[in-house]
Amino acid sequence: MPRHRKWLQLFVLVILVAAACGGDDSDSGGGADGPTQRITVVLPNPSAVNVFNLCAAMGEGYLADQGIEAQVEAVDGSGPVLQAMVAGQAQIGLPGPGPVLGAIAQGEDPVMFFNHFSQSLFGIVVPDESEYEAIEDLSGQTIGVGTAEGAEVSFARAILSDAGLEEGSDYEFLPVGDGGQATAAFERGEIEAYSAAISDMAIIEARGLSLRELTPEEFLTYFGNGYAAMGSTIEQDPDLIEGFSRAMAQGTEFAKANKEATLEHCGEINPEEASDPELTDALYEAIVPRTEPLEGNEVGYFPPEAWEAWQESILESGELDAPVDDLESAYTNDYVDS
């Protein structure tokens, strides 16, 4: 897909979401505790089904019940999500843990407060007929990624490093875009493997290319992207974070029990995606299970040991030069039980 068309789609998504949220400039009609608070939520890709709980929270009025009106904007990966948050262009974003730790190491203060993907969002995949059987077999090959700064890069780099492969000498990454664009990259022979989000896997297989996953089992337990805000935002407006978290928990519960209604809400946000019902159904079936908390944890909860594993993996890969001074500053579970 040409880049200009992709960004046109993102612009259309923003306008549609703003319309779905109401578009009224007045502050009346908010939650029970006061007027409506308007915020911007920035996502790392334009898929609405990928944030099915946000779709449900908006469509069922859970955000409105908290006095929140959200305008959603989509950018190209976790790096731009964090840049928008740092610049004050968004109050809430959905970055991955690797880029969050990288931002903290650079002196910024993003804090993840709601674990959207409690299970691994990513996997390294090859076409089903590929000769490659293990990560080690990818030595000397080109591995596709959605974007150069996406969370999938951190995830793949950690896996490849664990297998003894070094970027630049044993393999290289090639940004090829998401889903359908990755399918074309496989077909053109530009890549031999792809670090794919679950949504990408569903899109690629819906396009007729069967995939096989090479991801080692221990990496499948790594959590994925979560809702985050800058530490200053959380400190200054904890009620916003509490209200948003409550709406996301309600949206998650509703969406898991009401597939058709949730997909209708997602379709109101992104009609182009909804124009392919077979695809949106596949996305829902692939994405929702990855949000299920592990080991009886609450929805939205971040296991501290999982953060330690994430940091260790990206230290080993060289993505971080040293551990962050305070790993607990990267996340909070204060709003999970709220």
Q: Give how far the C-alpha of residue 105 lies from the chain's centroid of Cα atoms, to the nearest Å.
A: 21
What is the rounded end-to-end Cα distance, in angstroms, of the chain?
42
Residues in the chain: 338
Report pLDDT for 34.
Answer: 66
- The mean pLDDT value for 180-203 works out to 92
Report pLDDT for 257.
Answer: 96
Report pLDDT for 116.
Answer: 95
- pLDDT of 189 over the 50 cut: yes
CB 49, CB 283: distance < 8 Å? yes
- pLDDT of 207 over the 50 cut: yes
* Least confident interval from 84-93, 126-135, 310-319: 310-319
- The mean pLDDT value for 254-280 works out to 95
Backbone angles phi, psi at 270, to 5 degrees: -135, 85
- pLDDT of 56 over the 90 cut: yes
Confidence class for position 222, pLDDT limits 50, 70, 90: confident
Confidence class for position 338, pLDDT limits 50, 70, 90: low
CATH 1.10.4030.10 fits 122-221, yes or no: no
- The mean pLDDT value for 24-39 works out to 60
Helix (H) or strand (E) holding 144: strand 141-145
- pLDDT of 13 over the 70 cut: no
**How does DSSP assign 178-202, residue by residue?**
SHHHHHHHHHTTS-SEEEEEHHHHH
Confidence class for position 27, pLDDT limits 50, 70, 90: very low
What is the 3-state secondary structure of 320-336? CCCCCCCHHHHECCCCC
- The mean pLDDT value for 57-77 works out to 95
Residue written as token pair 């935002």: 233
pLDDT digits (tens, 9 = 90+) for 124-180: 999 999 999 999 999 999 999 998 887 789 889 989 999 999 999 999 999 999 888
- The mean pLDDT value for 271-285 works out to 93
- The mean pLDDT value for 304-316 works out to 90
User: Model-level pTM greater than 0.85?
Assistant: no
Residues of the chain with CATH 3.40.190.10: 3-119+224-330, 122-221
- The mean pLDDT value for 71-98 works out to 95
CB 311, CB 320: distance < 8 Å? yes
Confidence class for position 314, pLDDT limits 50, 70, 90: confident
Which one has a higher pLDDT value, 32 or 166? 166
**How does DSSP assign 21-87, residue by residue?**
HT---S--S--TTSS-EEEEEEESSS-SGGGHHHHHHHHTTHHHHTTEEEEEEE-SSHHHHHHHHHT
- pLDDT of 122 over the 80 cut: yes
Confidence class for position 15, pLDDT limits 50, 70, 90: very low
Fold (CATH) for 3-119+224-330: D-Maltodextrin-Binding Protein; domain 2 (3.40.190)
